[in-house]
Amino acid sequence: MTELPARRLLLVHAHPDDESINNGATMARYAAEGTHVTLVTCTLGERGEVIPPELAHLTGAALGRYRQGELTAAMRALGVRDHRLLGGPGRYADSGMMGLPDNDDPACFWQADVEEAARRLLDVIREVRPQVLVTYDDDGGYGHPDHIQAHRVAMRAAELADEAGCGIAKIYWNRVPRSVAERSFARLQQDLPGLPFTKTATIDDVPGVVDDDRITTEIDGTAHSAAKADAMRAHATQITVSEPYFVLSNELAQPIFTTEYYELVRGERGSGVRESDLFAGLGLGIGGAGGGEAS
């Protein structure tokens, strides 16, 4: 049995690449500080749209296997050693975008029994004993069925953890403050003529944008901006990076946020206008060991 560090962070995401786009700087920062960072990804993203022409032949299970390799490379870039697929590789299939026939596939995550999936996540929580959980809001950030389901599973697993005596002290949802998004897109418009991209996304294309007063926590990950960009590049089937911007398969440029924002939805808020540490108020130092074991 190996004793875990004092601080333990769990992130629950829907597909490979979601973690790097939403939380890459946060994950890199905490991993560098000695926090035990655990990523649980719920599907392999088998229905993702592939960007590079030389990889366009990848579909279905073959794409899922390839994206699993991309996820491994991204975690290496972020310094995260503990990354898992919920229920094991291929247990839950990508559900596709909301409203498509893919949503009706019995094997897809959208059709999964939430209680069963939450108990699989509970097994991870029992092992790691995280004090902090990061996931999406109840709309999954932008309405994707797998993101919504990841929210449901993560929040139900947190309830089960309470009942099992291994409760999670603080739960956060991924957010972007509207003012930050507005400034970043204004800068993108100015920079666009010098970029390899021709069109920009809009604020409505960014998951989790909310009014500034909803933001409780901001994590300055600027020192880890290169790691985040490298992790995003690792997801080459899905993302094209030209720092400090990127595009998905829609070819619409977006900013890369290296300060990442959160809304605390459970637990005691740390002092200050906004927290600068997800573990604020828990009395846990940076690094060190204690409080849990892993096999």
Binding site residues for Zn(2+), as ranges? 15, 18, 147
Burial class (CB in 10 A: 0-12, 13-18, 19+), 79: middle
Is residue 172 a contact partner of residue 141, using CB atoms and an 8 Å limit? no
Structure tokens at 239: 């993302």
Give the 3-state secondary structure of residue 65. Answer: helix
Binding-site residue ranges: 15, 18, 147
Q: Compute CA distances 193 → 182, 188, 252, 256, whole Å.
A: 19, 9, 14, 17
Burial class (CB in 10 A: 0-12, 13-18, 19+), 274: middle
Q: Compute CA distances 257 → 16, 60, 111, whole Å.
A: 18, 30, 32
Q: How many CB atoms within 10 Å of residue 83?
A: 22
Task: Write out the DSSP string of 167-214.
Answer: --SEEEEEEEEHHHHHHHHHHHHHHGGGSS--EE--GGGSTTEE-GGG
Q: Compute CA distances 153 → 50, 114, 129, whole Å.
A: 27, 6, 17
CA 116/CA 151 separation, integer angstroms: 14
Kindly report whether the peptide bond that precedes residue 89 is cis, defined as omega within 30 degrees of 0.
no
